[in-house]
Amino acid sequence: MRSEWLQCTILRAASILVPSDQRAEWLHGWQSELWYITRRGATLFCLGAFRDALWLRRNSVSPVKRSRIRLESPLNCLAFLTTGAAMSVFIALRLPTPHLTPPLHLRAGDLTADYIATLMLSFAYLLALRMAIGRAAANPQPVSWRGRLRLWIFLGLKIALVQPIMFCGLAVMLVIGPVVPVAPHLGVVAIWFLTLRWIFTDQQRRCPLCLRLAIDPVRIGTPSQTFLGWYGSESMCPRGHGLLHVSEMSASYSENPHWLYLDNSWRSLFVGSAGRRQS
Amino acid sequence: MVDGQRLTHTTAMILQAIGAGYIYGYTVMEVTGLPSGTVYPALRRLDRDQLIRSQWEHQSIADEALRPARKYYKLTRSGQAALDASRKRYPLLAKLTPIEEVEDA
């Protein structure tokens, strides 16, 4: 095998994306192929490994490892965000303000105005995102107004609780700004969009009735013979309220994620699995 | 059964390359001119869809040749059928000549 560190580093970095049970064989395969590649094209060749690794990650049939942080329940999710927010405020208050000599620490009062500003921006961004995506298809079983209110309250709380986390990220970026000049701008934008995107997708993947995260996704449809992959995935509400269909090929399957509500006759199938999950 | 009409040109080109005797990833890349990020996921997908079958070379053979073991690919019966259907749809695939003809030239 070649000993060029750059190619090896690229392959090792890409291998992180590969499911752990297939990683060793995947890396072995790519390293074997690399042996045949001329020095000139080796780096370009190795960059293709990322696409292969991503494909493997997306199409792996091996069971997905459960995260140690369980955010399925809405209360767990809010508790997690509250802890993150509290830690973020603590860190932000301890950071020195940049560009000031002698460096001062931020005060709690300074944070309020920034908090309100970022909160307004977040709501505006999510509203714009919702409008850009468009309305979901008419629901054959509309959620009651109480259910809708609960959904909106949950969304509002999530948006409110991520603000300190985003602000802490911003403060960290400003502190490291003089050291790495471009990083703060990129970092702030990345933190901002990734966090809000997470809020949006998390909300879409929650059962409208019990606010629990849909679990156990399975691929649906026949694998396409084009390069576009699977049609979509189907997850289920742990309480058996319904099935969430998320499109991977919006042009041929469905534009937006949608719920297929299950009536009470299905409930007995889910009682056991919900119990096992809670234990 | 795979519907050959639905194979993309790139997929058909990779199948044609394997059918023509370019039976491991690097040679498929070379003969089709496609980048590694396209060829290797495509090979995996074709393998998953049972249009091709992959097999690692015996380590002893690779050791004798002082090189790493290769992963070889072979068309399955349904892969051959899909390729035959694709040749009708993409007549230019015939330009990708079998490996014996390349060696004879």
A48 and A169 inside one domain: no
CA-based torsion, A64, A66, A71, A72: positive or negative? positive
Probe site for chain A from B10, B11, B36 (most A CB atoms < 10 A): B36
Q: Is residue A64 part of a domain?
A: no
End-to-end distance of chain A based on CA atoms, in angstroms? Answer: 49
pLDDT of residue B75: 93
What pTM did the predictor assign?
Answer: 0.56
Looking at A204, A230, A260, the residue that finishes a domain is A204
Question: Regarding predicted confidence, which is higher, A268 or A65?
Answer: A268
Domains and CATH numbers, chain B: 4-92 (1.10.10.10)
Q: Is residue A224 part of a domain?
A: yes
A152 and A240 inside one domain: no
CB < 8 Å to A37, chain B: 26
CA distance linking residue A174 with residue A267, whole number of Å: 52
Q: Which of A41-50, A56-65, A83-92 has the lowest mean pLDDT?
A: A56-65
A238 and A168 inside one domain: no
A54 and A119 inside one domain: no
Contact (CB<8Å) A44/B42? no
CB < 8 Å to B44, chain A: 52, 55-56, 59
A185 and A117 inside one domain: yes
Query: Which domain does A12 fall in, by range?
Result: 5-58
The structural domain count of chain A equals 3
Looking at A176, A204, A232, the residue that finishes a domain is A204
Contact (CB<8Å) B41/A51? yes
CA distance linking residue B79 with residue B23, whole number of Å: 14
pLDDT of residue A57: 84
CA distance linking residue A196 with residue A161, whole number of Å: 11
Contact (CB<8Å) B44/A52? yes
A92 and A51 inside one domain: no
CB < 8 Å to A59, chain B: 44-45, 48
A256 and A225 inside one domain: yes
Looking at A178, A204, A230, the residue that finishes a domain is A204
**ipTM metric:** 0.84
Residue A101 has pLDDT above 70, yes or no: no
pLDDT of residue B104: 47
